Amino acid sequence: MKLIVNADDFGLSRGVNYGIVDAHELGIVTSTTMLTNMPATDHAFQLMEHYPDLQVGVHLTLTCGVPLTSDCPTLINQQGEFRLTSQFRRATHEINVEEVEKEWNAQIQQFYTKGITPSHLDSHHHIHTWEPVIPVIKHLAQTYDLPVRTGFKQAPAGIRFWSDLLDTNFYKEGVNEAYFAELSQQYKGYDGTIEVMCHPAYIDETLRKYSSYVDDRARELRILTQVKQTVGHLLGKNEPTQT
């Protein structure tokens, strides 16, 4: 098995940014994905220059912060913020998928306008796996020739995936010291690539403002910087999978 450890939410806050780069430099994080519409996005781009071995992709969002595009009435509330939440599957209003494509394209373009090619695409709250927007993520992935985080109920054809399997259990009550040792035993002999999603951070007020998942992030950071001897031999740069 090959293990990739992806830290979500790069760009959300400075505390998150510093937590992610420390989890990379001192621990086992191999890649991260950036929210390109958040207060610490510019700070994240600045940090990238100092960590060339950290693969950085785009963490597409429709559920956090303010959109980069101006004409997207079905995506925003009266305050101009994204109206969808982590409970988007229960949403009662319809969204315009053309607005979604325009917005997500703008989020991806934040990399290209700086001359940077992102490593891959995923999304905040896994919203890219939501049925109404699957055609959008497929089109953008093909347009930019970028791999996508797996996790779909039924994998769309014609997309390269960032890994063979996605493990999302290192989260909330799943954040414990035994997690990675148990994972390596569970998949012993497996010949594919497994992505573990994580959210390391130093806690700050911006994080508290934008996320309900806060305190466990500091615990994640501690564990991610302590288990290199256990699973470090499994880590590697990723080579995406073609469907």
What Rg value do the Cα atoms of the chain yield, rounded? 17
Q: Is 93 annotated as contributing to ligand binding? A: no
CB distance 104 to 140 below 8 Å: yes
CB distance 196 to 182 below 8 Å: no
Question: Any alpha helices (H) in 49-130, and if so which ranges?
Answer: 97-112
Q: Is 87 exposed, middle or buried (0-12, 13-18, 19+ CB in 10 A)?
A: exposed
E strand spans, the chain: 2-10, 31-34, 55-60, 121-123, 160-161, 165-167, 193-198, 241-242
Q: Is 124 annotated as contributing to ligand binding? A: yes
CA distance 19 to 7: 9
CA distance 19 to 13: 10
- Give the residue numbers of the binding site for Mg(2+): 59, 124
- Give the residue numbers of the binding site: 59, 124
